[in-house]
Amino acid sequence: MEAKKNDILFWFGILTAIWFAWLGMIWMYFTALFIAYPVGLLSLLIWLKIRHENKSRNKYIPLILIIGVILSLSTLIYLLVFD
């Protein structure tokens, strides 16, 4: 079985989306802006490149990115209100 370009891009997009969702919650000294959001943007660009492919797997990247944005902004709001 040979890996196609879109398969590699999909898995790289999944990994970068998970990176964004996990590290987007670190707002100490605004590090999320430098270590998470650029990687999340890269994941979004990868998804935009492969989304025209009619495979059901392509719905996972934006789902993970949306969860990451919700977690990141929730953490930021919590820190702004309670700290």
Q: Which domain holds residue 63?
A: 9-82
pLDDT, tens digit (0-9, with 9 covering 90-100), for 42-66 = 999 999 999 998 888 999 999 999 9
The reply to whether 1 falls in a domain is no
Q: What mean pLDDT value characterizes the chain?
A: 92
Counting the structural domains of the chain, the total is 1
Tell whether 4 is covered by a domain. Answer: no
Q: pLDDT class for 17, splitting at 50, 70, 90?
A: very high
Per-residue pLDDT, 1:
58
Domain-located, residue 13: yes
CA–CA separation, 75 vs 39, rounded Å? 18
The CA distances from residue 79 to 13, 22, 64, 67, in Å, are 29, 17, 22, 18
- Helices and strands of the chain, counted as H and E runs: 4, 0
Residue 15 resides in a domain: yes
pTM comes to 0.89
Determine which helix (DSSP H) or strand (DSSP E) holds 15, and give its type and residue range.
helix 5-23
Report yes or no on 3 lying in a domain. Answer: no
Given a contact cutoff of 8 angstroms between Cβ atoms, the answer to whether 77 and 32 are in contact is no
Is residue 83 predicted with pLDDT exceeding 90?
Answer: no
Task: Please say if the pLDDT value at position 68 is more than 80.
Answer: yes
Task: Provide the 8-state DSSP code for 58.
Answer: G
32 lies in some domain: yes
